[in-house]
Structure 1
Amino acid sequence: MTNSSPSPASPSPASSPTAAPHYHLMGIGGIGVSAFARLLSARGVRVSGCDAHASELTAQLEAEGIAVSVGHDAGHVGGVDVLIASEAVPKDHPELVAAREAGVEVRPRMALLNELLRAGPSVGVIGTHGKTTTTSMIAVAMQGAGLDPAAFIGGIVPEFGSNARVGRGPFVAEVDESDRAFGTLKCETAVFTNAEDDHVGGNQATYWETVEEQHAAFAQFVAGARRVLYCADWPGLGALCLGASERLSYGQGEGADYRAVNLRPDAEGTTFSVEHQGKVLGEARVGLPGTHNVLNGLAALAVTHLYGGDFGQAVAALAAFQGPGRRWQRIGELNGALVIDDYAHNATKVAAAVQAARQTGRRVRVVFQPHRYLRTQQSWPRLADALMDADEVLVLDIAAASETPIPGIHATLVSERMSQRGHAGVRYLPDRAEVVRHLRATATGDDIIVTMGAGDVWKLARELAGGGA
């Protein structure tokens, strides 16, 4: 992270006038909570946290001076001023119970994010796809354009070496719709990428009962912002923005305030022209393939333009950007084949990742890990259809993500539907060692291998590439 002073508001006062407040963060090894830890620590707050397991991320936090305990224990709240926990943590969790009994403030994760967003000029990125990439692109473009953004991102951004950036502002934040409190947050500029039906159904704390309920929260968030910049190419998105005080749009279609036109895709990315309300701002490029990344990059350039950043410098920074961790991340090579890892885990994201792979002109070989039993139950036909344009698909078992298995829901639903629809290159292959042997024996320089999913399929990419970046 950079060392300039952060823009977010000061935390709640400590119990002593001279001592820094002590914040304890549950689940500190998570990609979002760890970013909170870094932002708080940079503001002089005493930060500690705990997580069920040690990881590379928790080791990094410890190296940065943030105390991390492995496992959960009621004793962690001793001497703590504020306990941060997500809504997914059960209310009867021993640490939460101990905090309440000790009079420690228990602050939801979204309440902390709201403080950061409301403290000054801020950009909140919402939508069911592309939030991490778009938030990263905005922060990178702003930095390149001579601004000094602070950032809260659900992925590691290579330019920052972190999932957080400390700066004078504006504050750019990824806002996760899986937390039901997100609709109440306030920011200056809402960037709205799309709205689908992810995180809907079931009785989990991070799921919505209906898509209508979730979309109403999107509309509430937009209405609470000073202005919204929404993707005009996504059907129905404009209707969710009617409550906004100021509405701006971006996209390829006629009528968008910011337009990407004259797209020239190649194997490495896409070059395009940017127009603002009919006036040409200049040429731009994203170094990531796929039309969805053109839209993500256009949103980043639009936001940077709105905040007065230098367009040419923003373009240069965006062109050099290679994506955050697990979003079209180049891992290395295998026998000349390009090995990519991507977080795509629902049908729209999977289809976009396959389209990006096709843009490279290589033979597209996908190792797909379905994510969650409920999500698979809801969308396995769409997942199968989204994978049909790949040349080869190796399907792993479902990543449970702590869910209880659902009878009859299995990864073979995806592979069998693809076979029934005439795909000759799909196989259910749960033995990971066999996946590695097969690809090592058959990969050539004409291939692109994409490990795809929100579980731990990323480990296979690193094994295939021999522990690459």
Structure 2
Amino acid sequence: MAAAPAIPPAMDRPHFIGIGGAGMSGIAKILAMRGAKVAGSDAKESATAASLRELGATVHIGHAAEHLADDATSVVVSSAIRPDNPELARAAELGVPVVHRSDALAALMRTQRPIAVAGTHGKTTTTSMLAVALTELGLEPSYAIGGDLAGPGTNARHGEGEIFVAEADESDRSFQKYDPEVAIVLNVELDHHANYASMDEIYESFEAFVARVRPGGCLVVGEHAGALELAARVAVREDLHVVRVGEAADADVRIVRITPKGMTSEVTVAFRGSDGAPVSELTFTVSVPGRHYAHNAVAALAAGARLGVEPSALAQALTAYTGVGRRLQLKGEAGGVQVIDSYAHHPTEMTADLEALRGAVGADARLLVVFQPHLFSRTQELGKEMGEALTLADASVVLDIYPAREDPVPGVTSALIIDAAAAGGADVRAEHDMAAIPDVIAGMARPGDLVLTMGAGDVTDLGPKILARLKG
């Protein structure tokens, strides 16, 4: 095993603004596990705040200048932190360096063998699959993920091994700070419209990410058209080994078949030998339904193999993956109705999850969706496509837009989605009062149905409330 990496000097006593966020909390947890004196603040109390305190971190609720200790060695922020934050202003007064989240994560990974997982969709799932499988094999990886693993119940860990698996976020170009030994790019699509104006800008950003892969390193690409285009653009780099995964006959790691089995899939793959001929096949189970999750698992398999992990052992270890929070996560069952939660908020993700569940439920079961659009900019650009995705459901209820970091845009509402869904023949309705949703669903659902709460905002909080209402 490798020796525990040293804490970067600026990270000895860090203060995190928004410490409860998925990305921020992971870095804070790893630093706390490595012995740093971690502190921070968040807008509200949460299970994440409690878990950080258990690791010895000081977590304040609310943002105030006095929360920043005089001996802080850095203030860590994400792109979501506004310039007028009082703790940020206090940092300027004290002369405390401000470090972006991506720089902090890059510093943590630098002395290890990083696998960075990128793509418009599937990052969290693929990173999680790798983290679980490598842990199952006793390789003690460190990892930082955008969601909580179903087993360990955490999004980050400091491991004693040499491999560090991290989710690489393209939304604000911050993934351009990492220098992985292996990079995974699952897909490339236009999203994050507040930061990217065109596909050309998206490709330029991903090219900058791939340019930082270490000399002699590897790029694993999915068979999505955007990922293949990226591979073609970076082909001029002679010190980069490109591995293509997918169902195409000439894929380097070929998916021979995917066999749906209820809420799981059985996947068979074949690696191409040095002479181009396929070697012996491997078959393993993926614990979540849908072809896209099978593809994610195979990308994880290919990346681990490039770091020297024996493929057949890694394939079997991937069966230990049991899911990650908000990625088709079963919240429970009541009255014969299953309630599942999905983070899907882009039309491609929505379609993939709805198709997966449609294939997994029985012929007589209905798929009922509660969808919360995420961001005004995304709804403005992709509202029609979101509505088209909802035509895959038997019935949908659409909430108001979750603004996150954005201010409202005149004329941009959930009606853009509802109108597109209705035009496609969908049974869809609006609901402006989130508190009314449990009663609405109780009036719609019948035994055997599946209810899906979907979106990247606080729609995830509805699952337990719907279940409680279904129990009567």
Name the counterpart of 2:275. none
Name the counterpart of 2:449. 447
The answer to whether the 8 Å contact 1:219/1:243 transfers is no
1:367-387 Cα distance to aligned partner (Å, 9 max, x none): 111111111111111101111
The answer to whether the 8 Å contact 2:346/2:386 transfers is yes
Give secondary structure in 2 for the equivalent of 1:247.
strand
Q: Which moved more, 1:458-467 or 1:158-167?
A: 458-467
- For 1:5 and 1:156, the matched residues in 2 are separated by 25
Name the counterpart of 1:211. 199
1:124 and 2:116 aligned: yes
The answer to whether the 8 Å contact 1:337/1:448 transfers is yes
- For 2:384 and 2:37, the matched residues in 1 are separated by 48
Name the counterpart of 1:10. 7
1:375-425 Cα distance to aligned partner (Å, 9 max, x none): 1111111101111111111111111214222221111221122212222x2
Using the size of structure 1 for normalisation, the TM-score is: 0.91
Q: Which moved more, 1:455-464 or 1:128-137?
A: 455-464
- For 2:403 and 2:168, the matched residues in 1 are separated by 24
The answer to whether the 8 Å contact 2:18/2:81 transfers is no
1:326 and 2:318 aligned: no
Name the counterpart of 2:425. 422
Name the counterpart of 2:191. 198
The answer to whether the 8 Å contact 2:103/2:177 transfers is no
Superposed CA RMSD: 2.1
Partner letter of residue 427 of structure 1? R
- For 2:3 and 2:468, the matched residues in 1 are separated by 39
Name the counterpart of 1:386. 389
Name the counterpart of 1:360. 360
Q: Cα–Cα, structure 1 residues 386 and 220, in superposed 2: closer, same or farther, change >3 Å?
A: same
1:294-317 Cα distance to aligned partner (Å, 9 max, x none): 011111122222233344443343
Give secondary structure in 2 for the equivalent of 1:466.
helix
Name the counterpart of 1:458. 460
1:165 to 136, 144, 157: 157
- For 2:54 and 2:420, the matched residues in 1 are separated by 47
Name the counterpart of 2:167. 174
Q: CA deviation at 1:432?
A: 3.4
Name the counterpart of 1:403. 406
Find runs of 4+ consecutive structure 1 residues off by over 4 angstroms.
4-9
Name the counterpart of 2:341. 341
Q: Which moved more, 1:378-387 or 1:87-96?
A: 87-96
- For 1:240 and 1:467, the matched residues in 2 are separated by 53
- For 1:240 and 1:332, the matched residues in 2 are separated by 45
Q: Cα–Cα, structure 1 residues 436 and 467, in superposed 2: closer, same or farther, change >3 Å?
A: closer
Give secondary structure in 2 for the equivalent of 1:69.
strand
The answer to whether the 8 Å contact 1:194/1:237 transfers is no
1:23 to 6, 11, 14: 14
Give secondary structure in 1 for the equivalent of 2:269.
strand
Give secondary structure in 1 for the equivalent of 2:221.
strand
The answer to whether the 8 Å contact 1:145/1:314 transfers is yes
**Identical amino acids, percent of aligned pairs:** 37
Partner letter of residue 202 of structure 2? Q
1:184 to 177, 180, 183: 177
Give secondary structure in 1 for the equivalent of 2:138.
coil
- For 1:7 and 1:292, the matched residues in 2 are separated by 35
1:400-458 Cα distance to aligned partner (Å, 9 max, x none): 214222221111221122212222x2111233344322322442332111100011111
The answer to whether the 8 Å contact 2:63/2:85 transfers is no
Name the counterpart of 1:204. none
The answer to whether the 8 Å contact 1:126/1:175 transfers is yes
1:243-264 Cα distance to aligned partner (Å, 9 max, x none): 5521111111121111111211
Q: Cα–Cα, structure 1 residues 414 and 90, in superposed 2: closer, same or farther, change >3 Å?
A: closer
- For 1:146 and 1:71, the matched residues in 2 are separated by 40
Give secondary structure in 1 for the equivalent of 2:90.
helix
The answer to whether the 8 Å contact 2:340/2:463 transfers is yes
Q: Which moved more, 1:394-403 or 1:164-173?
A: 394-403
1:273 and 2:261 aligned: no
Partner letter of residue 321 of structure 2? F
- For 1:320 and 1:227, the matched residues in 2 are separated by 25
Partner letter of residue 455 of structure 1? G
The answer to whether the 8 Å contact 1:200/1:211 transfers is no
1:98 to 90, 100, 105: 90
Name the counterpart of 2:258. 263
Using the size of structure 2 for normalisation, the TM-score is: 0.90
- For 2:325 and 2:5, the matched residues in 1 are separated by 25
1:110 and 2:102 aligned: yes
- For 1:402 and 1:99, the matched residues in 2 are separated by 22
Q: CA deviation at 1:8?
A: 4.3
Q: Cα–Cα, structure 1 residues 211 and 200, in superposed 2: closer, same or farther, change >3 Å?
A: farther
The answer to whether the 8 Å contact 2:182/2:306 transfers is no
Aligned length: 453
1:436 and 2:443 aligned: no
Q: Cα–Cα, structure 1 residues 141 and 159, in superposed 2: closer, same or farther, change >3 Å?
A: same
Gaps of 5+ in 1: 15-20, 202-206
- For 1:328 and 1:411, the matched residues in 2 are separated by 23
Q: CA deviation at 1:127?
A: 0.9
- For 2:105 and 2:407, the matched residues in 1 are separated by 30
